[in-house]
Amino acid sequence: MSTGPQGAPEQKPLSLPAVLLEFLKIGAIGFGGGMAIIAVMEERFVRKRRAIAADEFLHGVGLAQVLGPFAVNTSLFVGYRLHGPAGGILSLLAFVAPSMVVVLLLSRLYFAYHTLPALRGAMAGLGAVVIALILAAAWSMGEKAVRGWPAAGIAAAAFLGGLSKTNPLYILIAAGVAGLLLGREALNKATGGGRPKPPPAASRQPPASAGLCLWLAGAWPAIPLAKLATAFLKMGFMFLGGGFVVIPVLYQQLVVERGWLSATEFVDGVAISNMTPGPVSVLATFAGYKLSGVAGALVATFSLYLPAIVVMLLLSHGYGRAGHGRRAADFLAGIGPAVVGLIAGAAALLGRDALTSWRSGLLAGVAFLLLVRIKAPPALVLAAGAALGIAGIIPEK
């Protein structure tokens, strides 16, 4: 393996088709919600493909927490860093496409027969492996981002904050301030201690969203699904904190205020979104399908994501221009260990529900060793867990 000047693995260029193929794969196997998907992204783009530096990936995960689904935002950030604004948008589309297709199919079955596919056994096995996958990501990121007591202290504080369900955005801001006060040299030497490489030329391109936004502003009233799009667009601005934060937002809007879904339909929609790969926010796909079919599903999903997409494009652009200045680098150096702590905290919280027996705990432990020591492909470990659940070896909750 070739190395950079400080001994870190040298980054390898990755073509846009290869990036999109990776995100299609991740979107197809990304069971377990945001942090589990982040774990797969880190394994594919940082460790296996070496397309993006470990510290840069951590910074992207931190920035992705600002608004909207952070796994979706991270896919945009990675694509943007590798191939500019177009790469960011296409990476996001490739990532969410598999989960949207699955939700559309299950939604069609559900609204035709009002029954759910019998996937509970598979989910029991997947749950234990997902915990191992998240812990493996925290372990891998921690080896690079947590070196020395100051960084370990930030990671531990973020872990405790995650356990107490503090808004991740507040935790990351506090960690960034700590980075400013301590400085990246004192905080973390995992990145090699040198100055980060300048961003690739593609990432310096200006955001490509301005013309699209102007066009939409003029054409919006004429769009037949404008009412649906406007409703989900408003929900997108309330989507703070990522992950399951979207569920109470959608419940209030779709069930309580608008009556577009019954309470039973909403709960079943949450179950469907958790039975599929990709982010839980594809619940919007389920709701949109009920209201206006396939077109409604597409409009609802991308309207929900649009505010976060615009914000993430701006943040990715700003990161490319200013992310390597001294003060910005100090701030981001504090965010890296905090992301590791948040990921470990998410594993602990999810483990309370997923590891309900000694068998599921044993499966999680074995899966962790396979992922960390043997470097087994996550897709194979997930498939093995699902098979054990279907066979009844891992009991359902």
Q: Is the pLDDT of residue 271 over 80?
A: no
The residue length of the chain stands at 397
Q: What's the per-residue H, E or C state across the chain?
A: CCECCCCCECCCCCCHHHHHHHHHHHHHHCCCCHHHHHHHHHHHHHHHCCCCCHHHHHHHHHHCCCCCCHHHHHHHHHHHHHHHHHHHHHHHHHHHHHHHHHHHHHHHHHHHHCCCCCCHHHHHHHHHHHHHHHHHHHHHHHHHHCCCHHHHHHHHHHHHHHHCCCCHHHHHHHHHHHHHHHCHHHHCCCCCCCCCCCCCHHHHCCCCHHHHHHHHHHHHHHCCCHHHHHHHHHHHHCCCCCHHHHHHHHHHHHHHHCCCCCHHHHHHHHHHHHHCCCCHHHHHHHHHHHHHHHHHHHHHHHHHHHHHHHHHHHHHHHHHHHCCCHHHHHHHHHHHHHHHHHHHHHHHHHHHHHCCCHHHHHHHHHHHHHHHCCCCCHHHHHHHHHHHHHCCCCCCC
Q: Which residues pair with 3 in a beta bridge?
A: 9
**278 has a pLDDT exceeding 50:** yes
Q: Which of 20, 3, 22 is nearest to 194 (CA)?
A: 3
At residue 6, the pLDDT reads 45
| pLDDT score for 276 | 66
CA–CA distance, 235 with 229 (Å, rounded to integer): 10
pLDDT of 23 above 80: yes
307 in Cβ contact with 284 (< 8 Å): no
| Mean pLDDT score, 113-136 | 68
Confidence band for 194, pLDDT divided at 50, 70 and 90: very low
For residue 196, name the pLDDT band (cuts at 50, 70, 90): very low
Which pLDDT band, with edges at 50, 70 and 90, does 21 fall under? very high
pLDDT for 318-332, tens place per residue? 887 765 556 766 777
Percentage of the chain with pLDDT > 70?
73
Q: What integer pLDDT is reported at residue 129 of this predicted model?
A: 79
First to last CA, the chain: 44
Q: Residue 249: CB partners within 8 Å, gap ≥ 6? A: 235, 238, 239
Q: State the average pLDDT over residues 87-114.
A: 86
- Contact indicator for 34, 74 with CB cutoff of 8 Å: no
What was the pLDDT predicted at 195?
42
Q: What are phi and psi of 3, to 5 degrees?
A: -130, 160
Query: Range with the lowest mean pLDDT among 163-167, 220-224, 391-395?
Result: 220-224
**How far is 49 from 60, CA to CA, in rounded Å?**
17
Asked if pLDDT for residue 206 goes beyond 60, the answer is no
pLDDT in tens, 284-299: 888 899 888 899 999 9
- What's the rounded mean pLDDT across residues 364-393? 82
Does residue 204 register a pLDDT over 90? no
One-letter identity of residue 384: A
Residue 94 pLDDT more than 90?
yes
Q: Is the pLDDT of residue 241 over 60?
A: no
Q: Report the C-alpha gap between 135 and 364 in whole angstroms.
A: 10
Most confident of the ranges 6-15, 45-54, 163-172, 245-254: 45-54
For residues 134 and 75, the model is more confident at 75
Tell me the CB-side half-sphere exposure of residue 190, using CA atoms within 13 A: 24
| Res. 263 pLDDT band, cuts 50 70 90 | confident
For range 4-12, the mean pLDDT? 53
Q: How many CA atoms lie within 13 A of 245 on its CB side?
A: 21
**pLDDT tier at 4, thresholds 50, 70, 90:** very low
What is the overall mean pLDDT for the chain? 76
Rounded mean pLDDT of 106-118? 69
